[in-house]
Amino acid sequence: MPARAPSWGKLLARGRARLEQAGIDEADNKLRWVAGHLLGCGLLDVLRHLDDVPAPTEAGQFGTMLGRLERHEPVQYVIGETDFMGLRIQCDPRALIPRPETEGLVRCAEEFLRSRTGTPVVVDVGTGTGCIACALAKRVPQARVVATDVCAATLDLARANARALGVVVDFLHADLLADLPAASADLVVSNPPYVSTAECIRLPRSIRDYEPRGALDGGPDGLRIISRLVSEAARVILPGGRLMIEIGEDQADAVRELLCPKAHFKFVAIQSDFAGNPRLAVAERSRT
């Protein structure tokens, strides 16, 4: 009698053993994420299918995806998507995987945009997958959302996300805020590359080997892009408008110094993420 094909429960248990052997953390979660993707259900609902036997094609796909996880590829690239602010964002190595801490930047931006009258203009610099721009376009429909990225391939992915989500974002292939007119934006937001070059080399393999270096490397001190952004933002933001930048947890003092009256900004706040780390710098464009 031919052996019965393994159930989902068996595949997951074998998968866990292989991932643990390969030194992959959160093995159970990642495998459930993959199984849920193939089954078309959420992580918790996977548990209802443990005794079911997957179709041979599903089992084959699971095996291929397991192999990719084993090679330290991030699960979001393996399944091709992630959740950001309740939105399904397509992911692939053209762009950084959206992180949960960036949701704090979106909430802060949303609150500010809602306080503006008319059609406020927000520019998302270094849009990556377009996650921030798309979330703002969904949540603040009265705003005009512009998004830039220096990488053309990244922008193609961001455009695909905006199309799939049914939101309107004006994407520009630009170096930071080049090409944007002076005094044209109420708000500039950015999650720029802010990891120092030395730190990039020490990042976990799943990030270092898979996510784009241009999305991470902020130069020798990690501040190369942020300091350029501050001076360009002073030209583009309307007086009384705001600049919001996601920063590394050890950069608060340095960024606070950059956001000074001499640079045409009045420092507003450094906000912490859910883990209590200072991760978001907020400043107001001076009126003079």
Ligand X SMILES: C[S@@+](CC[C@H](N)C(=O)[O-])C[C@H]1O[C@@H](n2cnc3c(N)ncnc32)[C@H](O)[C@@H]1O
State the residues that interact with ligand X by CB under 6 A: 95-96, 98, 102, 125-129, 131-132, 148-151, 154, 175-176, 191-193, 214-215, 225
Instruction: Evaluate whether 242 touches 287 at the Cβ level (below 8 Å).
Output: no
Residue 149 CB, shortest distance to ligand X, in Å, is 5
34 vs 147 by CB, closer to ligand X: 147
How many other C-beta atoms lie within 10 A of the C-beta of residue 278? Answer: 19
Provide the minimum distance between the beta carbon of 147 and ligand X in the complex, in angstroms, as a whole number.
Answer: 8
Q: Give whichever of 54 and 74 is closer to ligand X, judged by the CB atom.
A: 74
Closer residue to ligand X in complex, CB, 128/278: 128
Q: Is the dihedral of CA 20, 22, 25, 31 positive or negative?
A: negative
Minimum CB distance to ligand X, residue 7 (Å): 37
CB of 263 to ligand X, least distance (A): 18
Indicate the residue among 76 and 154 with the shorter CB distance to ligand X: 154
- What is the smallest separation between the CB atom of 12 and ligand X, expressed in angstroms? 29
Please provide the size of the chain in residues: 288
Q: Which residues contact 37 (CB under 8 A, 6 or more apart)?
A: 79, 81
Dist CA 60 CA 52 (whole Å): 15
Cβ atoms of 131 and 84 closer than 8 Å: yes
**Least Å distance between CB 128 and ligand X?**
2
> Residue 115 burial (CB < 10 Å; 0-12/13-18/19+)?
exposed
Which C-beta is closer to ligand X: that of 90 or that of 127?
Answer: 127
Smaller CB separation from ligand X, 96 or 108:
96
CB 156 within 8 A of CB 220: no
Rounded Cα gap, residues 241 and 50, in angstroms: 53
User: d(Cα 142, Cα 158) in Å, to the nearest integer?
Assistant: 20
* Cβ proximity to ligand X, 15 vs 128, nearer residue: 128
Give CA–CA dist 4/268, Å, rounded: 64
Tokens representing 46?
């996977």
Report the nearest approach of ligand X to the CB of residue 76 (Å).
11
Taking alpha carbons only, the member of 102, 91, 85, 107 closest to residue 37 is 91
Residue 130 Cβ vs ligand X, minimum distance, rounded to whole Å: 8
- Adjacency order of strands within the sheet including 121-125: 170-173, 144-149, 121-125, 185-190, 237-246, 278-285, 265-272
Q: Which is nearer to ligand X, 137 or 151 (CB)?
A: 151
